[in-house]
Amino acid sequence: MAKPALLVTRKLPPAVEARAARDYAATLNADDQHWATDGAEIIRRATALGAAGILCAAGDRLDAACIAALPGSVKAIATFSVGFEHVDLAAAKARGIVVANTPDVLSFATAEIAFTLMLMAARRAGEGERILRAGQWMGWAPTQLMGVTLEGKRLGILGMGRIGRELAGMARGFRMEVHYRNNRRLPPELEAGAIYHETEAGFLSSVDVLSMHIPGGAATRHWLNAARIAQLPRGAIVVNTGRGGTVDDLALIAALRSGHLRAAGLDVYDGEPRVNPGYLELENVALLPHLGSGAIEARDAMGFRALDNLDAVLRHGREAPHRIA
């Protein structure tokens, strides 16, 4: 029996590519060229291959126009991500194309990056490294780069899903008090002593560190705006490892410049890979290049989960275990 043809849009971890090549007639992207940002190019390549499946990634352009023009051979799209804003689910449903994502395998790794950014922002780690690399460090001084400790601080988690709960567990180890805001209150066993807030105002005014873990999209676009930032206590820290579009960059930059916010730590950006140049002018913001799931273990697990979804549909004729459309 011939192996199903699979179009892979990005270079993936070696173990993932090896499995894809073993089980599929896979066309890989060895040089990690970013052609999949062009929907027409996805259509062209899928048509040329007679692809049965597409293994895509965040940032690919699988919008309604692209999906509508995919060849009839395409039966499944698996995205190498939890987020799926780059795939038009309604268009896929209309075509009968299964879409699946990779939940549950990157929560701890992403929470680690959130905590890394919290520490970097609170303890001014980025500033310190830049001084050292520039050859400007003159030795220890009693008042040099004084930050704040996280011990005893109130951590506010916006979105207490899997990543938020992993972060809460880490924060308890640092003796932080955990507060959260969610679309609904968690049961006690998941809440684990965290303090739930029914109102935004009560939540924002009660925390020293805000860590954002909410989905993107029109409903949450620029959720953190000037009005909500003003409700945070002076000297608060903001961390975002969720979706870049949930932050109003101009409002956050203004609050960092004015001193209303002590610092920020960002791993995601509105319109990435573009970064608002205002952030680059500030010392009190720690910036990482979307490293949330960037651990070998997490990325392998993501790839295997994507292939599990494709295997179910294309090789075994079953329901994809993590189907979203």
Q: Which residues are catalytic?
A: 243, 272, 290
- The residue type found at 155 is L
State the alpha helices, DSSP H only, in the chain: 14-23, 39-49, 64-68, 89-95, 107-123, 125-133, 162-173, 188-191, 200-204, 226-231, 249-258, 277-280, 296-310
| Separation CA 1–CA 21 (nearest Å) | 15
CA distance 287 to 274: 12
- Chain center to CA of 21: 27
φ, ψ (nearest 5 deg) of residue 111:
-60, -35
Contact predicate 303/83, CB 8 Å: no
User: Phi/psi zone of residue 212: left (φ > 0), alpha (ψ -120 to 50 degrees), beta?
Assistant: beta
Amino acid, single-letter form, for residue 157: I
Token pair of 323, please? Answer: 């189907």
φ, ψ of residue 97 to 5 degrees: the values are -95, 125
Joined tokens for residue 169: 């567990």
Contact 59, 37 (CB under 8 A): yes
DSSP annotation of 159: S
Going by the DSSP 8-state scheme, the letter that residue 187 receives in this structure is P
Nearest CA to 39 among 93, 88, 100? 88
What is the rounded distance in angstroms from the CA atom of residue 180 to the CA atom of residue 244? 20
